[in-house]
Amino acid sequence: LAGPLFLWVLAGNLAANLLRNLWTSTIIFCGHFTGEVETFNQQDCENESQGQWYYRQALGSSNIKGGNLFHVMTGHLSYQIEHHLFPDLPAKRYREIAPKVQAIFREHGIHYNTGGFFRQYFSVVKRIVRYSFP
């Protein structure tokens, strides 16, 4: 469809896909692999109660702080804790329930893992480097 501009269109599509994939993987890593996120093995998940499942979701997720545009650009997955606790809730509502989730975490002494984008990202990089060596 692009005719003689085919190569330019192809290059633009490749660049857009590369940038989108890098952005998406970065947001996903920042929600699941920061330094303060706990990891679990299969035995930890066997025979767990519903309450234990929610507790594991709380400990195994992290959020990224940002403004409205940032949250829209992440598909609201910068609220990964809320996403894990309420997977059926529309993503645009995560911001609305986040203060309530934080209050419940405070009440029960659970760490609400959140931080700015660069803090969370460098925490991920540090963890990847640490796990890269025996």
pLDDT in tens, 53-69: 999 999 999 999 999 99
Per-residue pLDDT band at 1 (split at 50, 70, 90): confident
pTM of the model: 0.86
pLDDT digits (tens, 9 = 90+) for 97-122: 999 999 999 999 999 999 999 999 99
Share of the chain above pLDDT 70, in %: 100
For all residues of the chain together, what is the average pLDDT? 94
Would you say residue 44 has pLDDT above 90?
Answer: no
pLDDT reading at 87 higher than 90:
yes
Write down the domain spans for the chain.
Answer: 3-131
Token digits of residue 130: 């640490």
What's the helix, strand, coil split of the chain in %, to 5?
A: 65, 5, 30
pLDDT band at 30 (very low <50, low <70, confident <90, very high): very high
pLDDT at 2: 82
pLDDT of residue 100: 97
Query: Does residue 76 carry a pLDDT above 80?
Result: yes
User: Nearest 10 degrees: CA dihedral of 76, 124, 60, 29?
Assistant: 40
pLDDT reported for residue 24: 95
> Which residue has 């990847």 as its token pair?
128
